[in-house]
Structure formats: C-alpha cells, structure tokens
Structure 1
Amino acid sequence: MKGSHEIELRVKDILKLNNYELKAYFSLLKNGKSKPIDIAKDAKIPIQRVYDTLKSLQGKGLIMADNNNNYEVIDPKVSFSSIANSLVIETKNKAKEIEELGLLINSMVAQKSNEEIKIIHGINQSFGHAISLIKLCNEKPYFMVYKVIDKLNELWPSIYELIDSIKNGAYVIYPENVNLQDKYIKLLNERKIEMIKSTVTFMDLMVGCDSVIIGLPSSSYDVISVYINNKEFANALKQRLIELTRFNKD
C-alpha cells in the first residue's frame, strides 16, 4: 500500500489540483460530510478561499453538497472513473479534430509526391501511423509480428486500438512457437483477422495498399520505424507475404 503522502501527490499531479483543493478534498475524505467552516479549519484554508475551493472541486466532479450546505466526497471509484472516461472521450474528439485538420491541410498542398520514405520514432507514433494507414486503406493489410509478441501485455492498449481500427479483416503472420490466449483469439476472430503461424518471422512489419511500415528495436526510442509509400515495393513485399502464408497453410 502506498503512503498517504505519495497518494496525495499523485492525486494533485494527475487531477491538476492546487494546494487548497488538495487539502479540502483529503479533509473530506478523512472527516466525511462537513460544513465549509469546518473544512477551512481542518485543512487550514482561509475562510474567504474555502467556498471557491469547494466550488472548484464540485466542478471537477469530486465532491457534492446537499441543501444544508454540507459537503462530502463522491465515491472515488465513481468520480475517478467518470473523469477517466471524460478524458477518453475528450482525447478521441481531439484526435478526430486533428485527423480532419490533416485532411483539410492535405487538400491545400500544391503538389504531392506519391512516393515517400520517412523515419518514425517511438511506439505510440508507430502505432498511430499504422492506424491511420488502416483507416485509409480498403484492402486487408498483412502483418508480420515478431518482437511485438514479447511485449503483448505491455503494448496491448495500443494493439487493441489498432485491431479496433480494422474493418475489413487482416492477415497476421506470427512465430510458430507462440500460443495465444483465448481472449486474444476471440477478439481477432471477431475482426476477421486470420492468424498464420510461421517458422520464418524475423521482424515486425505491416503492408497495406501502397504503404509499408517496418519496426525495429531502438535503444533511444524503444522502437524506430521506417515508413515507405511506394506501390512497387509494397506490392513486391505483399507478394512475398502471400507466398509465405500459402506455404504455411500447405
């Protein structure tokens, strides 16, 4: 069990509370339903500041007041879950805005090159790029997974987002010696993702439409990926993966 001081610091940092808000909140946690004047005394908050402080905590969804001006905390399981869900919705809305802005700006580019090679640094950026490609590509993408399997639990939130973006199915080539848990297999089947065991998996990559992403471990960024947008290269790699899947099915 973490110490109370450490928990207070985490609450302050994660919920962005000021010192008065933090003191008032933990005073109510400790003492239960209380009047503002009692909260001010216990938390050592100037009486002229306590009302604004309590109003702010109400606005954050952490406490509530009754008709007799008594304040108490909302069940932390409920209030913190509500805040977390609000953040998820806010993040998704922000992501949608950014995506729409990208499409708008893309239409303003005077001359676009169809071919592109670039380096992507970091796990989140690599997954984000892959998800964007899946949304823009109507065909079934091919994946080869290698090192990702070793960090399946750690990377699962990002992997789930990627799987959730797949609407038309996919092919995933993975190491022959790996046995996936039933919960993963069920989700993959729901998304019409065909899992193909192979003895020759050697890197993490994705190919779909005219694009390829190849991911490799990096000491500086955990993962460094190469993004290649080239129809000839993508088709050649896709053909090799198709041959590989046929070989492993036979």
Structure 2
Amino acid sequence: MIIYYLPNRSIIFYTFFKLISLDTNISVFRLIYYLFVYVKFIVVLLMENMSTILRFLEFIGIKGYEAKAYITLIEIGESDAPRIASKAGIPLPRIYDVLESLILKGLIEVKVGRPRKYRALPPAIGLNRYVSKYIEEINNINMKVISILSSMYKSKQVKTGPMIWITHSLETSIERMRSLIKSMKTSGFISCNKEIFDRLANTFIKTFKIKKDVLFGVTVIAKPNEISSYDKFLGINNIEIRVLPTGILNLFETDLSNIVILGEGYSIYSNEMELVRIINEAYYFGYWRKGKKIKEFGVKPGLRIKSSHHWLVLDLVEEALKSNLKVKAKIIGYTVGEFKPIELNGFITGVKRTSDDSIRTLFIDVDGKILSIGGLGSSIEDVEARYLEIEVI
C-alpha cells in the first residue's frame, strides 16, 4: 500500500541505495539508522498524499466509509465484502450498503457469484467520469438556484434612498461590468487601465459582434504602443477605442443608468441620475475628448446604431456628413425649459461645437423645421436628447 501511493518511488529507492553505497564501512547499526530514516520519509509522504486524496474525495461527495472502501479496493484489487471491511476498518453490517453506493456512483463494479467479488474501476475511467458528472450536476443546480435567488433579489430591490453600493472585490466588479456589457440596450463607455481593458476585451468583441446596433466608447489609460489587442476590434463598427497616457479614474457606464467606479482596493456601483451626470461630464472632458483615436467607429451606408449618449454620436455623425452621406435620426427626450417629453424624426443637417466643447449640438430637420439637440443637462438647445437612433444612408 505504501509504495502504491508514492510518487517517483524509483527515485526514492535510488537515493536510499546511493546513500548506502557511499558509506563503504557501513555497520549494522548505521544500516538500521538508514532504514529508519527511509521508512520515516516514506510514512511522511504517504500521510501527505493520503490526506490530499481523502480531502478531495470528501470534497466531491465520497466521504467516510465510502472513501475508505474505495481506497482499499484500489490497493488490494478484486476482493469480497468481508475482506474489504476488514482491511478498511468498516463494520461488516455496513460494508454492503457502502459498496452498493460506490457501484451506483460508477466507481466500482461487482462480479456475480458466491461470494460476490468487487473491484475498483480504473480511476482514469471511474473517478474521472464521476467527477465530470458531479461538476455537471453542480452547474445545473447552480443555474436553478441563481434563477430562483435572482427572482427573489429583484422583487426585494425597493429603493429607499440614494443607491450607492461599495464592494472590495475587483473580481466582483469586473464580472458586474461583463454582465452589464452583455445586457446593454443602447450605449456605454469606459476609461480603464490596460489590465482591465485586456480582461474585458473578449466580452466587448463577442457582445458587439452580435449587438451591432449598440454604441460603445473606450479610453485606455496607456500609451498607443502599449495596446496590442485593439486590432481584434477591426471590422466591429460600433466601438471606438482611444488611448490617453495619463489618467487615474477607471470609470464605466451603460445605458445612462449603470455606473461602476474602480478605486484602489474598492469599487462603487450606482444608478443615481445625478452621479450619472457627473460621471458623463468627467469622462467626456477628462478622457474622451483628450484621447487619441486608435480605432474609430466604422461609418458607412447601412450603419444603424442606438445611443443614450448624445456626445458619443457626434464624431460618427460628423464623419458621415463629411462623406456626403445622409444621417436619418429618431430622437427621444425633453424640451429644454418646459421639460416635456418629445419625439423627433428627421435628418441630421449639421454638428456645432465650440473650441472648449462647452457647446455640443446636433441639428435636425423635422419637416422643414431645424431644431437643435443637446445632451444630458442641455440648457440652450431646443431638446435634451435621452435616446437617439441613427441610420447612415
């Protein structure tokens, strides 16, 4: 049993006999000493290996007597129930139930006869199959539990005050961002360091290849030559990537409602509208307008996109108009001043920006009437846009 569980046992034998051969004047007492050290070394290794095996078996649901019986059968090979019980230290009245359970788990098999003989299947077959099935069952149960708990969670989310949540897990925040990207309905943006960009890159690519009508802006806090993965985004028209060598804020927002701010050792999640306004202004002036474009939106006839971010479509519309393309638009928002809901359908005729970008305005022709369209918090335009549908013709 000892040698069966020891890894690299040939090396151990070689080392032991090498020690003896080096001592040419070995005495009986010294030989006994060498044997004692050798046996002690083997016992320590055995205890460590067996402890690991038992912990693993218990982790996957093979506990107590079952683990003992299984390991014993691995050790002694084919045997009958009384001998297995004796070798494993299991009470004889219990051994049959234990063996039956191991058969149902697919770890051992039985040979019919008098007496019945049992043997373990090769671990590479029996144990591997059991582990695969165990993982599959855990995943299925996990999905069902998540579905039930998610329903309970949503039903209890009653807003009683400002909703600002703090977590100290970066992994949790990254998973939250992945989830928000996948469920995004219109548009979003992020400023982040290269590490976070690399971790989210595959989610961006998979999502925006499917959701071709959403719009997303990325500003990576890095030098242009430090970004090697942006070429994977070529051909994805609804994402633009910029780089900025300096910056400290890792900001993320989708659909003008979900915000994640990554700090040093903590992160904040919120959907408070006032915070949305602040984050939008901080991102646009601090990161977006200062960033260098390394991958632009793909502007071409047939492009259709949705956006909750007025400023995110400005460059796209300008590029289309410069290329003598028409830009059809549907805009939903509020009249400035009276704050009444309004929906407009027409063609974009131009874009106006001041040098400091304090004014960023789209102009739309609605049945011969030209109206000015601003973004979130507009004060001088005719309409504050909260949702835009753009089609390049």
> TM-score scaled by structure 1?
0.69
**d(CA) in 2 for partners of 1:171 and 1:198?**
13
Contact 1:212 1:228 in 2 (8 A): yes
Query: 1:72 — aligned with what?
Result: 120
For CA contacts below 8 A with separation 6 or more, give which structure has more relative contact order: 1
Structure 2 stretches lacking a partner, 5+ long: 1-6, 8-44, 295-393
Query: 1:221 — aligned with what?
Result: none
Instruction: Point out the structure with the larger strand share.
Output: 2
How far the C-alpha of 1:40 sits from its partner, in A, is 1.7
Question: Is 1:173 aligned to residue 215 of structure 2?
Answer: no
Query: 1:126 — aligned with what?
Result: 173
Question: Is 1:95 aligned to residue 146 of structure 2?
Answer: yes
Question: Is 1:142 aligned to residue 186 of structure 2?
Answer: no
Alignment of 1:188-207 (within 5 A): 196-207=242-253
Structure 1 stretches lacking a partner, 5+ long: 219-223
- Gap change, CA 1:193 and 1:26, over 3 Å in 2: farther
Query: 1:211 — aligned with what?
Result: 258
Query: 2:270 — aligned with what?
Result: 228
How far the C-alpha of 1:228 sits from its partner, in A, is 2.4
Question: Is 1:7 aligned to residue 55 of structure 2?
Answer: no
Query: 2:93 — aligned with what?
Result: 48
How far the C-alpha of 1:85 sits from its partner, in A, is 2.8
Q: Structure 1: which amino acid aligns with 2:120?
A: E
Query: 2:343 — aligned with what?
Result: none
Percent of aligned pairs with the same amino acid: 21
Contact 1:114 1:229 in 2 (8 A): no
Instruction: Point out the structure with the larger helix share.
Output: 1
Bigger Rg, which one: 2
**d(CA) in 2 for partners of 1:237 and 1:64?**
61
RMSD: 4.0
Query: 1:25 — aligned with what?
Result: 70
Contact 1:205 1:214 in 2 (8 A): yes
**d(CA) in 1 for partners of 2:232 and 2:87?**
53
**d(CA) in 2 for partners of 1:22 and 1:13?**
8
- Gap change, CA 1:225 and 1:89, over 3 Å in 2: same
**d(CA) in 2 for partners of 1:188 and 1:13?**
49
Alignment coverage as a number of residue pairs: 231
Contact 2:182 2:203 in 1 (8 A): no
**d(CA) in 2 for partners of 1:17 and 1:149?**
40
Question: Is 1:249 aligned to residue 297 of structure 2?
Answer: no
Query: 2:351 — aligned with what?
Result: none
- Gap change, CA 1:119 and 1:163, over 3 Å in 2: same
Deviations for 1:194-223, whole angstroms, at most 9, x for unmatched residues? Answer: 6544323424332112121112233xxxxx
Deviations for 1:63-114, whole angstroms, at most 9, x for unmatched residues? Answer: 14346253424623332233223222322222222112222334xx4xx358
Deviations for 1:154-190, whole angstroms, at most 9, x for unmatched residues? Answer: xx6xx699769956465443333545579xx869999
How far the C-alpha of 1:226 sits from its partner, in A, is 1.3
